[in-house]
Amino acid sequence: MDRPHLKPDFAVNPCFSKDRRRFIRKVLDGTIAGSLLLVIPAGAELPVIPEQIKGLRDKAYDIQKQQFAFIVDITRCIGCGSCCVADKREYNVPDGNYRTWVERYLKDYEDNVYVDSPNGGLDGYQEPRDDLDVKIRDTFFVPKLCNMCQEPSCVQVCPVGATFKTPDGFVLVDHKRCVGCAYCIQACPYSVRFLHPESKTADKCTWCYHRVRRGLLPACVDVCPTGARKFGDLNDAESEVAQILKGPGVLTVLKKEMGNWPALYYKGLRREVV
């Protein structure tokens, strides 16, 4: 296909030099005005992202008294992978490493269980498995993330205290202290940790601590279209998680026998899940 031969503007416009000066002046005016707006309050407040965890912004954050809960309701998970995408975008998680992932469980009529999690469920489970020649009786999805153990093995084994537990119940990693020995990766019963290929330090899900402290939900909870991931303040008796925890529904944790006392609860967890 022939393309029309385009000439630059200055070749056809005799007034180019005057236009150029005007253009440069406008750019400079805009830059100065924009910079001033940033340093001088203009009277109008910048838009604030609405609070998602109620009451956190109204008062000083008392780290000793705060208590949060994360509940995964697997009866609601549809395996769309939105949570994984949100997480990857929030933290720029390198390919092949996972702060969170979604597993797909299939069960046949012989009670055999088939589990997979291609690419950690990042692409969503859009197609059924075509590598199984069995009649499937049941299918369900299980999101996995840091269990924020009350007795975390990772904290116990870290030789330099780079992995630590905050008074408000979060297990975090100080990337400036971590020596990259990977002992925490060995010790975590849930395999939620990995060695970041760029920083060469341990990394894992934080339940989006930076968001929570600003009254925002973890990124994965925020985007979950079915409410399979729930997060909230236990000090707020009206919060959904507080209601679930005091309700009659059966909640359980992963690998209870490990004795780590996870703070991540599962609702409707099936016995096939490890």
Partner 1 sequence: MNSAHEGSAYLISNYVLPNDLHVHWSMMIVLYPYLSGLVDGAFIVAALYYVFGVQSLKPIARFSLIFALAFLLCVGLPLNLHLGRPERGLNMMVTPSPTSAMAGGGYLYGVTFLVLILLILFLYRIHLVMQQQQSQGLKKLFYQVLTFGSDNVSAEALALDKKVIRFLAALGIPVATVFHGYVGFLFGGVKANPSWSTPLMPVIFLFSACVSGISGIVLAYIVIKKIRKAAIDVACVRTLINTLYGFFILAFAFEMLEVFSHSYLRTGYHHMVEGLLNGPLHTSFWIWQVGICSFGPLLILSGLCLFKVRDGVLVVGGAIVSFILLLQVLFMRWNVIIGGQLISKSARGYTEFHPEWFDKEGIVAVVFVMAIPFILLFILSRIFPLWLENENQA
Smallest distance from partner 1 to CB 259, Å:
8
DSSP 118: G
Listed ranges 32-40, 55-63, 173-181, 210-218: which one lies at the site for partner 1 (CB under 8 A): 173-181
How distant, in Å, are the alpha carbons of 5, 28, 95, 147, 154 from that of 193?
57, 48, 14, 11, 9
How distant, in Å, are the alpha carbons of 205, 221, 226 from that of 85?
14, 12, 15
Number of residues that bind partner 1 (CB under 8 A): 50
- The binding track of 97-136 with respect to partner 1, each residue x by CB under 8 A or -, is xx--x-x------xxxxxxxx--x-------------x--
Q: Which of 181, 245, 251, 253 binds partner 1 (CB under 8 A)?
A: 181
Among 79, 91, 74, which Cα is nearest to 122's?
79
Lookup result for tokens 């341990």: 202
Query: Is beta strand 251-252 parallel, antiparallel or unpaired with respect to 264-267?
Result: antiparallel
Smallest distance from partner 1 to CB 229, Å:
18
- The binding track of 235-274 with respect to partner 1, each residue x by CB under 8 A or -, is -----------------------xx-----------xx-x
Secondary structure of 126-150 as H, E, C letters: CCCCCCCCCCEEEEEEEEECCCCCC
Q: Which is nearer to partner 1, 36 or 136 (CB)?
A: 136
Smallest distance from partner 1 to CB 110, Å:
6
Q: Which is nearer to partner 1, 192 or 208 (CB)?
A: 192
Spatial separation of the C-alpha atoms in residues 160 and 176, rounded to whole Å = 11
What is the binding site for partner 1 (CB under 8 A)? 96-98, 101, 103, 110-117, 120, 134, 144, 153, 155-161, 177-183, 185-195, 199-201, 258-259, 271-272, 274
